[in-house]
Structure 1
């Protein structure tokens, strides 16, 4: 136990554990995919859990050379929907790792630190 009522080794151990959990969560997110749709499924966007757009599917019925604005709106809406899904997945995946951080050291289960 260090002066001041806390164990420095415990802090380092908790930080290492948290770093490992964070790396695992990030790997999960990189491997996960979510989809977003618009136009009742006429346009579908697929993104990874980290937000990288990996696929875009457009039903031929919405391709009108005289109305590219509608197609652009549908694509944008599908990508936004997929991005929202990815953000939600990220929050859900990372919550167990970061959710307990409450005043940083307090979330590490440590007491006796200044301000704790």
Structure 2
């Protein structure tokens, strides 16, 4: 039995459009990660780009820069993890429609 090539092409075009829409949503989405009880906050887009860092002046100590550096790294890591979860959620919803075929298509992100 031959697969319906026209139908497959249409489905592939729809998936490509949905994938582009999800990528745009991820680029527009912003998530936060904090460290040190909220004294350092990092904001990252859903596609992983660092947007901003906010540092409470109370943690700025010229004699202890290492702690501040560690807090910044921890906040960025937390925000990146949130971004990864958002991306997984959105991409998971898209690939769920593939009936488990996503990995076999060789498409980036699937």
Q: What TM-score comes out, normalization by structure 2 length? A: 0.87
* Aligned-pair CA distance for 1:94: 1.2
Name segments (4+ residues, structure 1) moved above 6 Å: none
Which structure is richer in relative contact order (CA contacts within 8 A, separation 6 or more)? 1
Q: Does the 8 A contact of 2:33 with 2:77 survive in 1?
A: yes
Q: CA deviation at 1:100?
A: 3.8
Structure 1 residue aligned with 2:29 = 32
d(CA) in 2 for partners of 1:29, 1:92: 10
1:17 — aligned with what?
Answer: 14
SS of the residue corresponding to residue 65 of structure 1 reads coil
Structure 1 Cα separation of the partners of residues 35 and 92 of structure 2: 28
State the SS of the aligned residue for 2:33: strand
Q: How does 1:1-116 map to 2 (within 5 A)?
A: 4-101=1-98, 102-104=100-102
Unaligned runs of 5+ in 1: 108-116
- The structure with the largest alpha-carbon Rg is 1
TM-score normalised by the chain length of structure 1:
0.83
8 A contact 2:40–2:71 mirrored in 1: yes
Unaligned runs of 5+ in 2: 106-110
Please provide the CA RMSD for this pair. 1.9
Q: CA deviation at 1:105?
A: 9.5
